[in-house]
Structure 1
Amino acid sequence: MRIETDEDLSAMLAVLAAQCPVMGRLHAERGIPPLRRRPAGFEGLVHVVVFQQISTLAAQAIWSRTLSVLGAVTPERLAAASDEDYRACGQSRPKTRTLRAVAAAVLDGTLDLEALPAMEAEAAHAALTRVKGIGPWTADVYLLTCLGHGDAWPAGDIALQAAVQDALGLAARPDAGTMIAVAERWRPRRAAAARLLWAHYAALKGRAAIPATTA
């Protein structure tokens, strides 16, 4: 299953709403969340890495500086960039290491980004997380926002955890393991559930319905 269009998302949410009372209530309250897809490929993956673990506003500023300093977000350009280039972009040392590792993996064929869309979510997730520096959150968000996998589920996302806590009336924010168990009821449409839960979190916080940048 893929979420390529607003119609795809709407159809998946309709099924979830019919099957799960929690999804039905959230769907009635929040409607259809915005799709907000990004193109798949190297630049899309770099974008996810840059936006990890910092606020959206900070990530947007760093992304703009990255485009300005590097000129093009390609494996060749990131592999050739100096430490000074990365500092000028505003990248931290850990993210610099990750971006270099991603560029190297693509250049040497260890990571075949063109093959990922044809893989099942679990296989694509495993291929991404084999690259040093790419963790489960980065892989899941890339699958969800760039590849449109219908069953991607960023279990470690803090905003998603907070939304699940509120929606299910849990006493504490669930950890990643609990999130995986909770979401079994929403297979194979967990990505649609995630988008609706992000919209719920955004409404609770009075913000636009966008994925969190924390992991």
Structure 2
Amino acid sequence: MSEQFTKATFYTICDQLALIDTDLATIINTYGYPPLWSRPNTFETLVHIILEQQVSLASALSALNKLKERVQELTPARLLLLTDEEMRACYCSRQKTTYIRYLAEALLSGQINLIELEHQSNAEIRAKLIILKGIGHWTIDVYLMFVLQRADIFPAGDLAAVNAMKRVKGLPKTTTKEELIELAAIWQPYRTVATMLLWHFYLSTPLRTKVGV
């Protein structure tokens, strides 16, 4: 299984990253340590991440809360009882409704087992999730980082992290994804924690963008 970070190691890793990258050290010195963002390994969490695709975090949370109001406990079986109209009333687009239902069916059929994923490598998890409709690399990255707390993920498709990295390092807006991935290599094997520092900077400064896809 790929390396994880924990509450016990998180701040030590932040300090290690600060020693090798003065830009990350500046974030800590200016804004303090980032929160240790984490989410439980549940269907609800994956629905939340799908809802966060290409919209603001506030919009996604509003839709999630509407769904939870409607079904009380957000489980695959209960979700599948909702009609298209009820999903729309919960701020779910037609496309995201399709994605969420597909995920619910995959869990109910046993195609995906969330507990089993906890014991698999990043590559194995990515291979299993990427075939699900509506689950792309950004969604998988967030799942690996927030839910399974895998230590070495750089979500190159996350606009908040990418824009924060460009600002922190004074990079031109035209810097490519490939160039950013190459620059992020210095943070291995803790690229997840480095990204959390970038998100912390992003959330602590006025410039905001939509999240990734």
In the superposition, the TM-score normalised over structure 1's length comes to: 0.89
The amino acid of 1:165's aligned partner reads: K
2:140 corresponds to? 139
d(CA) in 2 for partners of 1:34 and 1:181?
26
Distance 1:162 1:173, change over 3 A: farther
d(CA) in 1 for partners of 2:122 and 2:188?
12
Where do 4+ consecutive residues of structure 1 move more than 4 Å?
none
2:49 corresponds to? 48
- Identity of counterpart residues, as a percentage? 33
Distance 1:176 1:108, change over 3 A: farther
1:1-215 to structure 2, matched below 5 A, reads 1-5=3-7, 7-172=8-173, 174-205=175-206, 213-215=211-213
d(CA) in 1 for partners of 2:80 and 2:210?
28
Distance 1:20 1:99, change over 3 A: same
User: Cα RMSD over matched residues?
Assistant: 2.0
Q: How many residues align?
A: 211
d(CA) in 1 for partners of 2:87 and 2:51?
12
Gaps of 5+ in 2: none
d(CA) in 2 for partners of 1:114 and 1:212?
30
d(CA) in 2 for partners of 1:174 and 1:12?
27
d(CA) in 2 for partners of 1:123 and 1:168?
33
In the superposition, the TM-score normalised over structure 2's length comes to: 0.90
Given that 1:161 and 1:175 are in contact with CA atoms closer than 8 Å, whether structure 2 keeps it comes out as: no
Given that 1:163 and 1:200 are in contact with CA atoms closer than 8 Å, whether structure 2 keeps it comes out as: yes
Of the two structures, which has the highest relative contact order with CA contacts closer than 8 Å and spacing of 6 or more? 2
Gaps of 5+ in 1: none
Q: Deviations over 1:60-80 (max 9, x none)?
A: 221111111122211112233
Q: Deviations over 1:173-209 (max 9, x none)?
A: 54433332222111110110010011111222278xx
Given that 1:98 and 1:133 are in contact with CA atoms closer than 8 Å, whether structure 2 keeps it comes out as: yes
d(CA) in 2 for partners of 1:81 and 1:174?
44
The amino acid of 1:3's aligned partner reads: F
The amino acid of 1:130's aligned partner reads: I
- TM-superposed CA distance for 1:3, in Å, is 2.8
Greater displacement, 13-22 / 192-201: 13-22
Q: Deviations over 1:10-62 (max 9, x none)?
A: 01111111222332333322321011311112111111111221112222221
